[in-house]
C-alpha cells in the first residue's frame, strides 16, 4: 500500500475545476458544479510494471486502483497494535482518594481530634449519668458539639470533592475535538474498494486512506498524498501552532516516503509543526481545497495527544493564598497543641477536688476545658469564609465578563507578576482584516498610490473606508474602487457566517477579510445581512471558471460574465511582486487607465516594502477584459494559467493583518503601572510578532541601540539555563516560532525564579501552559481544551478584562487580610479568655458549644461582610506583592495579640465581676471547687452550681459577642481610623453585625418567644438592662484601643517606606 502511494506521487496528473452557474438568480450561494478532467500519462505497460512492483511487495496482483483499502482483518489487527484513535484517559482517583485528600489540612485535622475528644468526653459523661435521667434532649445536648464539628468537615469535604471532579473534566474536553465521522477507503464485503463516509474516527488506524475537504476537521495525523480538484490545500492550524494565517500543504515528496512511513521512524515528522508542509494534524481545519491523505498517527501519538500528555504532566501549583494558609495552619496547630496541653497539665492538681466524684471525673472535666480551648483557638469558620469571599469575588468578576473555574485563582490574580500571553486571539482579534487599501490617483499630473485607511478589526462589516467618497461605487462604476469591490467578491470562495453575536468565516481568512472589505466599500448596507452587497453582485455576474492558486505564480483568477451585457472579465488576486510583473496597465481611481512605467514600478516596489514592514500581508488586485473562447483550450492546463494571467490591469493593493484589540494598548499600559511584566509567546514569525509587540508597547518602538528582547523558541532554549533565566529575569519579552512545550517550559522557568505567572491563550497549543501556570486564563471564543485547562475564562476575549481581574484580585486580598486578621484577633481573644480563666482557677467560663457558636455565627457573617470593603483607589499603582509575603506581618500579629488580650480581659472581667458584685472575693472565686470546705453556708456553694453559672456565662458570652462585633466595625480599614473610614462605607458589614447580634438576642430571650429549649441547650439566660449596660462598658474600649494601634501602625509603615527609599 505504501509503495502504491510512492508510485502515485510520480503520476503526471493534472486537475482543474470549472465552476458553472445553475442559472438560479435568486440563489444567494451561487451553487456551482465541479468538473474535473484527469489526463493519464502512463501507458498500459507502465501500469503493468507498477502492478508487478506492488506484487513483489506482497500486495494482491490487481490494478493499483483496487486493494488500497484496508480489509476488516487488517483494521482489527492494527487496532490491537495501535489502539483506538482516541486520547488516553487519565488515571482517575477514586471517590475514597478524593474524599481522603480533603482532610490533608492541619486545621481540619485539629478539628477532627477535637471532635474525637469531645465525643469521647460526651460518651464518658453519658456513661457516668443516672440511666433514669438520660433523655433524648439530654443526649442531644451532650453530642451536639461533636456533631456540628463533623457536619462542618463533611460539608467542606463535599465541596472539595466537587471542585476536583470539575477540574478533572479538562482532559475530557480534548475528546470533544475528535471528529466522530470521516471518509475512509476500505474494502467492502465483496473485497472491492469503497469509500465509506460514515466510519467512526475512533476506528482509524495507520495506513488508512482518508479524504478531507473544505470545512472538515482532520481526524488523525496524516500525510497528504494527493491534492484533488485543486492545486492548493490550506489548513487552519492556529489552534495548534498559534499562527493566524492558514498553512498551505503539499503532497509529500517521493523521497520522503521511506523516512516518513516505510522506515517507520520519526525522521520526517521530527521537524517543528510549522515546518511539516505535507502533514495534516488531528483537529486542525481544512480551509481550502480537498485531498487524499494516509493516516500516520492516531490517538495519543498525534500532536494533540502529545499536548494531552503535557496537560497530564503539568504540575498543579498551589496558589500563594493556599501556601500562606498551609503555613498558618501548621503554626497554629503547634500553638494550639501546646496551649491545650499546658492548660490540661496546669489543671492536674485539681483532678481530685472534692467537687469531683473521682480523679477520672476531674480529668474528664479539665479535658473538656482543654477541648473548649481548642475550639476557641481554631477559626472553624475561616475555610468557609474564605470560600464565600472568593465566591463573592467571582460574582463581581462575572459582571466583568470573567468566569472563574477555580476559586483560589481569584486571589492569585492579586500577586501576578508577569502575564504570559498568546498573540493570536488574545492580543489580536484572530480575524484577518484589511487595514489599508491603496489606489492610484493623478495628483499634479503625476500618478501616485494613495492609501485609504480601513476601519474595523473583525469580520463584522462595520467601519468605513476613510477617504472614500459617498456612493463612490455608483458615482464611478468604471473606477478602480468598483474593480476592487468586484475582485474582492468575485475572486473569492469564502463565506461570512453569523453565529450568536459574532461573525466567522468558512474558507480562507484572507478571503474573509476581502469579503468584509467589499461590504465596507458597498454603497447599500442593509440591516440583518452580512453580505447582501456580495449577493447583489452575484446576481449581475456569474463565475464559471477558476484558475486555482499555485505556489509558482502565487495568484488566483476567476472568469466572470455579466449576465446583462455579456461582458467577460478575468478577476485576479495574488502576491504583489509576482503579479505586478504580469500587469501592463494601472487603472486610476477615476477610471482612466495608464501604462505602467519604470517610475510607477519603482514607486510600487517602495509601497509594497513600506506595507510589508508594518507588517501587512499584501495582495495586488487586477482585472482583464477577455474573450473566454480565446482561452477555452488552456483553462484545463494549470501550466498555462500564468500566461492567461498576463496583460493585466492593476486596480489596487490591500494590506491585511490580524489586528490588535483596541483595548489591549491601554491594558498593557496599566500592567506596566501595576508592576506587571508582559511576555508574548506566539507561533507567528518574528516580523509579525515584533510589530504587534511594538504597537502595543510590549517592546519599545525605538530601542535606541539596545537589542530587542525577542527570541525564537528553539534559539532561546539552545542557550544555557543560566542565560535563559537571566533573560527572563526582567523586562517585557517576545517569543516567536514557539512550540507548545516551549510555553510550558517558559512558565516553569518563571516559577523557578519566584515569579507568579498568569498564562493566557485560546488554542489547543496553550492548554499545557494554562494548566502549568499559577493562573491559566482562556479566551471565551477559544477551544474547549483551553477553557477546561484554565482557571478562569474571559467571556469577551478582552485582554483588558485581565487587568480588571488583577484589580479585583488585589482588592480581594486586602479584604481577605482584613477578615483573616479580624478572625485571628477574635480567636486569640477567645483562647486567652479560656486560658486566663483556667490559669486563675475560675469555674467554666464558656462551654465548647458556646465558643463554637461564636466562631461560626458571630464571627462568620462580619468576616464575610468585610469582603465587601470598597477597593483602595491606589490598588493598581502598587507593585505585585511577594508570593511569600505573610498574611499577618510581625507588627500585625503584635497588634492583634494586643486587641485579643483586651477581648479576653473584657470576657473574663465581666465573668469575675459578677461573683465579686455578689460579695465573693477573688480568692473565693478561684477556690470554687473546694467551696464545701470554706463556705459559711450552702448558698455560697450554690453560686457555683451549673444552674447558677448560666448567668455569669451569659454575661461572658454576651461581652465576647459584643466586643467582637465592635472589632468588626473598626476593620473596614486596616490602617485608617473608624472616624475617617466608618462602617457606613460597607452596608454589608452593618448587616453582618446587626444580624448576628439579633440572633444572639433571640437565643437569650427564646423563652419569652415560646422556645425555652434553645436557651437551655446553649446554657444561657435573659439579661437585665443593668447587665447589658455592664456588657457595653466592658466592650466599647476596643474601638479606642484599635484606633490607637492603627495610628501607631501608620507611623511604622511610613518610617519603613522612608527607610526603603
Largest CA distance in the chain: 133
DSSP string, 137-152: HHHHHHHHHHHHHHHH
d(CA 67, CA 188): 10
Catalytic residue among 422, 493, 658, 684: 422
Instruction: Report the 10 Å Cβ neighbour count for 699.
Output: 22
H or E element: which one contains 862?
helix 860-865
Between CA 603 and CA 809 the distance in angstroms is: 53
422 a catalytic residue = yes
Omega cis (within 30) before 615: yes
**Is the distance from CB of 124 to CB of 366 less than 8 angstroms?**
no
DSSP 3-state of 617: strand
Q: Are 757 and 416 in contact (CB under 8 A)?
A: yes
Q: Yes or no: say if 535 and 461 are a contact pair by the CB < 8 Å rule.
A: no
Kind of pairing, strands 775-779 and 792-794?
Answer: parallel
Burial 663-690 (b: 16+ CB within 10 A, else e): ebbebbebbeebebbbbbbbbbbbebbb
Cα–Cα distance for residue pair 511/514, rounded to 1 Å: 5
Specify the DSSP element, H or E, that contains 430: none
SS3 category, 657: strand
What is residue 413's DSSP assignment? G
Please name the residues in contact with 817: beta carbons below 8 A apart, sequence gap of 6 or more: 887, 974
Query: In b/e form, how buried is each residue of 521-542, taking b as 16+ CB within 10 angstroms?
Result: bbeeeeeeebbbbbbebbeebb
Residue 865: all three cell numbers together: 461582610
Helix, coil or strand: residue 705: coil
Q: How far apart are CA 101 and CA 133, in angstroms?
A: 42
The set of residues, in sequence order, having a beta carbon less than 8 Å from that of 399 and lying 6+ positions away, is none
CA–CA gap between residue 201 and residue 179 (Å, rounded):
6
Q: Is 438 helix (H, G, I), strand (E, B) or coil?
A: strand
- Which DSSP helix (H) or strand (E) runs through 377? helix 359-377
Are 178 and 417 in contact by the 8 Å Cβ rule? The answer is no
Whole-angstrom distance, CA of residue 448 vs CA of residue 623: 19
CB 768 within 8 A of CB 154: no
CA 502 to chain centre: 20
**Cβ-contact 372, 848 below 8 angstroms:** yes
Q: Give the span between the Cα atoms of 387 and 162, in whole angstroms.
A: 14
**CA–CA separation, 1017 and 141 (whole Å):** 6
β-pair partners for 92: none
Are 580 and 604 spatial neighbours (Cβ–Cβ below 8 Å)?
yes
Report the run of H or E that residue 126 belongs to, with start and end.
Answer: helix 106-127
For residue 567, the SS3 value is coil
Q: Given the C-alpha cell 472538515, which residue does it identify?
A: 216
Cα angle value 824/828/834 (rounded, 5°): 145
Joined grid coordinates for residue 862? 462580619
- The residues that are catalytic are 422
Amino acid at each position: 500500500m505504501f509503495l502504491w502511494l510512492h508510485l502515485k506521487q510520480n503520476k503526471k496528473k493534472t486537475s482543474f475545476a470549472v465552476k458553472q452557474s445553475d442559472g438560479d438568480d435568486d440563489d444567494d450561494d451561487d451553487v456551482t458544479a465541479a468538473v474535473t478532467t484527469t489526463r493519464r500519462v502512463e501507458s498500459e505497460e507502465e501500469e503493468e510494471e507498477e502492478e508487478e512492483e506492488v506484487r513483489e511487495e506482497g500486495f494482491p496482483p490487481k490494478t493499483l486502483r483496487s486493494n488500497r483499502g484496508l480489509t476488516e482483518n487488517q483494521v482489527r489487527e492494527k487496532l490491537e497494535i495501535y489502539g483506538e484513535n482516541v486520547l488516553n484517559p487519565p488515571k482517575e482517583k477514586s471517590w475514597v482518594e478524593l474524599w481522603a485528600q480533603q482532610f490533608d489540612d492541619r486545621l481540619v485535622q485539629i478539628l477532627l481530634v477535637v471532635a474525637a475528644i469531645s465525643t469521647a468526653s460526651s460518651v464518658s459523661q453519658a456513661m457516668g449519668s443516672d440511666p433514669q435521667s438520660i433523655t433524648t434532649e439530654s443526649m442531644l445536648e451532650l453530642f451536639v458539639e461533636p456533631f456540628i464539628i463533623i457536619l462542618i468537615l463533611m460539608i467542606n469535604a463535599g465541596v472539595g470533592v466537587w471542585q476536583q471532579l470539575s477540574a478533572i473534566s479538562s482532559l475530557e474536553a480534548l475528546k470533544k475535538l475528535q471528529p466522530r465521522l470521516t471518509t475512509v477507503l476500505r474494502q467492502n464485503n465483496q473485497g472491492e474498494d469503497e469509500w465509506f463516509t460514515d466510519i467512526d474516527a475512533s476506528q482509524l488506524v495507520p495506513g488508512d486512506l482518508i479524504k478531507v475537504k473544505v470545512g472538515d476537521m482532520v481526524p488523525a495525523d496524516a500525510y497528504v498524498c494527493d491534492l484533488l480538484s485543486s492545486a492548493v490545500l490550506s489548513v487552519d492550524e492556529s489552534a495548534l501552532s498559534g499562527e493566524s494565517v492558514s498553512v498551505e500543504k503539499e503532497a509529500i515528496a517521493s523521497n520522503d516516503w521511506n523516512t516518513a512511513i516505510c522506515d517507520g521512524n520519526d525522521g520526517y515528522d521530527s521537524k517543528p509543526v510549522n515546518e511539516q508542509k505535507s502533514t495534516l494534524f488531528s483537529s486542525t481545519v481544512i480551509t481550502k481545497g480537498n485531498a487524499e491523505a494516509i493516516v500516520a498517527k492516531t490517538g495519543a501519538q498525534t500532536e494533540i495527544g502529545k499536548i494531552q500528555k503535557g496537560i497530564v504532566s503539568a504540575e498543579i501549583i498551589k496558589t500563594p493564598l493556599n501556601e500562606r494558609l498551609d503555613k498558618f495552619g501548621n503554626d497554629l496547630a503547634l500553638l494550639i497543641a501546646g496551649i491545650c496541653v499546658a492548660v490540661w497539665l496546669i489543671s492536674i492538681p485539681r483532678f481530685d477536688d472534692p467537687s469531683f466524684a473521682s480523679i477520672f471525673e476531674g480529668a474528664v472535666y479539665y479535658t473538656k476545658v482543654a477541648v473548649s480551648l481548642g475550639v476557641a483557638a481554631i477559626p472553624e469558620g475561616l475555610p468557609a469564609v474564605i470560600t464565600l469571599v472568593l465566591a463573592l469575588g467571582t460574582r463581581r468578576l462575572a459582571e466583568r465578563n470573567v468566569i472563574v473555574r477555580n476559586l483560589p485563582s481569584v486571589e492569585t490574580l492579586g500577586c501576578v507578576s508577569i502575564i504570559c500571553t498568546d498573540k493570536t486571539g488574545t492580543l489580536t482579534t484572530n480575524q484577518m482584516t484589511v487595514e489599508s487599501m491603496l489606489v492610484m490617483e493623478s495628483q499634479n499630473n503625476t500618478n501616485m498610490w494613495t492609501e485609504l485607511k480601513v476601519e474595523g478589526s473583525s469580520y463584522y462589516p462595520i467601519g468605513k473606508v476613510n477617504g472614500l467618497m459617498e456612493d463612490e461605487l455608483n458615482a464611478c462604476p468604471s473606477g478602480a474602487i468598483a474593480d476592487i469591490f468586484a475582485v474582492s467578491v468575485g475572486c473569492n470562495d469564502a463565506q461570512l457566517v453569523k453565529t450568536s453575536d459574532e461573525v466567522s468565516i468558512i474558507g480562507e481568512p484572507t478571503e474573509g477579510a476581502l469579503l468584509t472589505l467589499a461590504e465596507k466599500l458597498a454603497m447599500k448596507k442593509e440591516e440583518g445581512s452580512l453580505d447582501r452587497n456580495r449577493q447583489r453582485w452575484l446576481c449581475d455576474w456569474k463565475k464559471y471558471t477558476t484558475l486555482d492558486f499555485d505556489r509558482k505564480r502565487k495568484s488566483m483568477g476567476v472568469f466572470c460574465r455579466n449576465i446583462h451585457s455579456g461582458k467577460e472579465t478575468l478577476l485576479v488576486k495574488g502576491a504583489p511582486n509576482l503579479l505586478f510583473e504580469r500587469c501592463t496597465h494601472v487603472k486610476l481611481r477615476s477610471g482612466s487607465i495608464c501604462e505602467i512605467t519604470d517610475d510607477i514600478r519603482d514607486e510600487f516596489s517602495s509601497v509594497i516594502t513600506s506595507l510589508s514592514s508594518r507588517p501587512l500581508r499584501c495582495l495586488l488586485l487586477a482585472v482583464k477584459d477577455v474573450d473566454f473562447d480565446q482561452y477555452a483550450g488552456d483553462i484545463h492546463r494549470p501550466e498555462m494559467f500564468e500566461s492567461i494571467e498576463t496583460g493585466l490591469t492593476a486596480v489596487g493593493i490591500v494590506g491585511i493583518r490580524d489586528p490588535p484589540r483596541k483595548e489591549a494598548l491601554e491594558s498593557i499600559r496599566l500592567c506596566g503601572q501595576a508592576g506587571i511584566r508582559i511576555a508574548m509567546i506566539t507561533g507567528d514569525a518574528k516580523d509579525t510578532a515584533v510589530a504587534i509587540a511594538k504597537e502595543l508597547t510590549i517592546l519599545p518602538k525605538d530601542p535606541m541601540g539596545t537589542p530587542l528582547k525577542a527570541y525564537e523558541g528553539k534559539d532561546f532554549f539552545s542557550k544555557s539555563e543560566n542565560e535563559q533565566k537571566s533573560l527572563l529575569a526582567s523586562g517585557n519579552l517576545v517569543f516567536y516560532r514557539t512550540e507548545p512545550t516551549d510555553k510550558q517550559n517558559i512558565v516553569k522557568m518563571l516559577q523557578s525564579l519566584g515569579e507568579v505567572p498568569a498564562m493566557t491563550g485560546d488554542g489547543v497549543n496553550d492548554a499545557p501552559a494554562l494548566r502549568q501556570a499559577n493562573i491559566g486564563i482562556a479566551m471565551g471564543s477559544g477551544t474547549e481544551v483551553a477553557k477546561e485547562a484554565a482557571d478562569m475564562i474571559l467571556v469577551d476575549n478582552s485582554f483588558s478584562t485581565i487587568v480588571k481581574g488583577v484589580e479585583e484580585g488585589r482588592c480581594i486580598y486586602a479584604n481577605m487580610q482584613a477578615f483573616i486578621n479580624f478572625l485571628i484577633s477574635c480567636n486569640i481573644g477567645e483562647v486567652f479568655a479560656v486560658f486566663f480563666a483556667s490559669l486563675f482557677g475560675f469555674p467554666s467560663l464558656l462551654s465548647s458549644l458556646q465558643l463554637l457558636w461564636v466562631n461560626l455565627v458571630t464571627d462568620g457573617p462580619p468576616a464575610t461582610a468585610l469582603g465587601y470593603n470598597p477597593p483602595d483607589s491606589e490598588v493598581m499603582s502598587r507593585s505585585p506583592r511577594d508570593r511569600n509575603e505573610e498574611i499577618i506581618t510581625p507588627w500585625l500579629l503584635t497588634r492583634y495579640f494586643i486587641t485579643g488580650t483586651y477581648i479576653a480581659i473584657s470576657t473574663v472581667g465581666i465573668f469575675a465581676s459578677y461573683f465579686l458584685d455578689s460579695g465573693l472575693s477573688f480568692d473565693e472565686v478561684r477556690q470554687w471547687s473546694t467551696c464545701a470546705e470554706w463556705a459559711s453556708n450552702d448558698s455560697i456553694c450554690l453560686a457555683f452550681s451549673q444552674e447558677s453559672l448560666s448567668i455569669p456565662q451569659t454575661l461572658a458570652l454576651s461581652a465576647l459577642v459584643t466586643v467582637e462585633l465592635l472589632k468588626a466595625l473598626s476593620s473596614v480599614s486596616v490602617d485608617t481610623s473608624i472616624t475617617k473610614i466608618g462602617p457606613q462605607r460597607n452596608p454589608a458589614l452593618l448587616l453582618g453585625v446587626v444580624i448576628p447580634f439579633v440572633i444572639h438576642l433571640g437565643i437569650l430571650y427564646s423563652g419569652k418567644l415560646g422556645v425555652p429549649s434553645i436557651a437551655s441547650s446553649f446554657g444561657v439566660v435573659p439579661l437585665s438592662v443593668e447587665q447589658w449596660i455592664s456588657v457595653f462598658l466592658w466592650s466599647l474600649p476596643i474601638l479606642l484601643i484599635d484606633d490607637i494601634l492603627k495610628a501607631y501602625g501608620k507611623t511604622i509603615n511610613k518610617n519603613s517606606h522612608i527607610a526603603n527609599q
